[in-house]
Amino acid sequence: MDLGLTEDQEMLKKVAADFVKAEVPAHQMTQWYKNKQVFRPEILKKAAELGWLGMMLPEEWGGAGLAPMDCAVVFEQLGHGPVPGPLFTSGILSAQMIFEACTDAQRKALLPALCSGKAIVIPAIADQSAYWGPEAVETRLSKTPSGYLMNGTKRFVFDADAATSFLCAARSEEGKVVFLLVDAKSPGITVTQHIGFFVSVFEVRFDQVVVTTENLLGSSGASWATLEQALDRALPILSAYQVGATQEVFDFTCEYTRTRVVFGQPIGRFQRVQDHCVDISICLDTARWATYEAIWRLETGMDARAGVHEAKATASDGYYHGTNYAHMVWAGPGTDYSHPMMAHSVLAHTLYQYLGTPGHHKRLMVDALYPRA
């Protein structure tokens, strides 16, 4: 496995790094976070101009036609911000789901607008249950003469405040899990901030929301297996974002240990502080290797299912525990909401559970490595 970047990938990396420095400096991100307003339409617009929405989609559908490694290089840099907004939720996960599940007519109607940023399609998958999987889909579709009524509450909906439409999982009267697009301005939709998590995470309630058969993805609403196909390509990109975020935490924490002087010497000379920094480095490298091995497997046509879940498990685990180790180094200053540690810490706690906890993905690794007969 060669992790060396091509000349084009080095250019993508530089453009993304410059974008983060210009658009999301640390002091600006902490201010947005404190004000609980992290969706910035101007950032999404500039990202769309750079071709970062729908990066992996074919050009014929409005995408950039880039490989997963190209996309991961960009998202690792975005994690340094961490750059907020629906670049992943709409530009990667929903884009892949629509591409995998929809008819050509639906793709033509949806994907160019998504890639330009005019449409922001936000996944709303998880229900009240903490479990991630088809068995936990509780939102219901009830048939009416003209279509359906949709009722339920979705949890952990990232970027719901930015949505023009929601990509929802719901259960039909026959018990099948189907996927459909719902206009975010439909009567009966209530969006509430999810207390205790990152400020861009919401609960979305659907109360007697009217939908039609045309809202279903594909000809029959697709299936959970279609979502898993989209996640196989999307999860390593989210993992790369978390790798970049962990790298940022490691970098500014190590710099602090060189400049913070206690008892006449930098705190980085104290063994316990060194232990914490080493622990962050181990979290970081474990996540990076797992993430890029999964991407390498995807690009070479190898079976990547176990690797994809390993990447999500180690990247979420590494970011979460890496920020905890960093807090031990920063102590009091790192708990101030004006400090970049707090945005990273709360985001790490949130992404730990988003799209399945590390424990969930470890179980899926077992299923992939030891398939049942």
CA atoms within 13 A on the CB side of 152: 23
Across the chain, mean pLDDT equals 93
Strands 165-171 and 177-183: antiparallel
Q: Tokens for 73?
A: 């290089």
Q: Please give the DSSP secondary-structure letter assigned to residue 216.
A: B
At residue 251, the pLDDT reads 97
- Using a cut of 0.85, tell me whether the model's pTM lies above it: yes
Check whether 35 has a pLDDT greater than 80: no
At residue 130, the pLDDT reads 65
Taking only the tens place, the pLDDT of each residue in 160-208 is 999 999 999 999 999 999 999 999 999 999 999 888 788 889 999 999 9
Fold of the CATH domain 224-369: Butyryl-CoA Dehydrogenase, subunit A; domain 3 (1.20.140)
CATH code given to domain 7-118: 1.10.540.10
Check whether 257 has a pLDDT greater than 80: yes
Check whether 319 has a pLDDT greater than 90: yes
Check whether 129 has a pLDDT greater than 70: no
Beta-carbon contacts of 353 under 8 Å, excluding residues fewer than 6 positions away, are 130, 156
- CATH 1.20.140.10-classified regions of the chain: 224-369
Taking only the tens place, the pLDDT of each residue in 20-29 is 999 988 777 7
Which is more confident, 222 or 95? 95
Planar angle of CA 209, 220, 146, nearest 5 degrees: 40
Strands 189-193 and 147-158: unpaired
Check whether 256 has a pLDDT greater than 80: yes
3-state secondary structure (DSSP) of residue 14: helix
Check whether 231 has a pLDDT greater than 70: yes
3-state secondary structure (DSSP) of residue 177: strand
With a pLDDT cut of 90, the percent of the chain lying above it is 80
At residue 373, the pLDDT reads 67
CB-based contact 311:290 (threshold 8 Å): yes
- CATH 1.10.540.10-classified regions of the chain: 7-118
Q: Rounded CA gap, 272 and 345, in Å?
A: 21
CATH code given to domain 122-215: 2.40.110.10
Q: H or E element: which one contains 31? A: helix 26-35
